[in-house]
Structure 1
């Protein structure tokens, strides 16, 4: 059985979405984004959930994009992937329920995680 890269737990009106790729320091891959989208769909449609907390397993919230997966892409493929990821970030921005990021001390230097945090309502 393939383990999900984003786990969903509920406690009352709170849904916890946990990034579950600790062996890769929760590096953001296409597979992780797909699981995050599915988790967001699930909690968005749950009338019992009022707030979402995004957190991570392991010692790092996330080190950012999993650049090792995309080393052989062309410039056009890179651009397409960037556009896809931008739409995914914007989904967090426009999400109808408040999102809180519960961040461990260790994250990547800036870029990716700052982007994620920027789209969360509370940090």
Structure 2
């Protein structure tokens, strides 16, 4: 089953890894930051070794995003990525795992101080989850 792990964050200034730019992460003791970083590297290595990691990308500054909405019969561009939000989509990872329990186990490792992680199954046109 394929899942996407969406990382919602609002680092100031915008940068990656997002934790390096978040006060909640920066305020942690050094040993805790090192442990969290090591756990993240471990899960990334595990996903790659198991063939479960399909891909992922960090996303650029949301101030550079543009929204396209349909209005009066044509697309209208506006600043994005959201109408009003403090957190923005910072990046994603696409994984292909055996079941939802494994996806939840992996997604929990992506959660960090000052960030929100969303786990969502992918879907093909027609509604069949993949």
Q: Indicate the TM-score class for this superposition, using the shorter chain for normalisation.
A: 0.3 to 0.5
When normalised by structure 1's length, the TM-score is 0.33
Identify the structure with bigger relative contact order (alpha carbons < 8 Å, sequence gap 6+): 2
Structure having the higher Rg: 2
When normalised by structure 2's length, the TM-score is 0.31
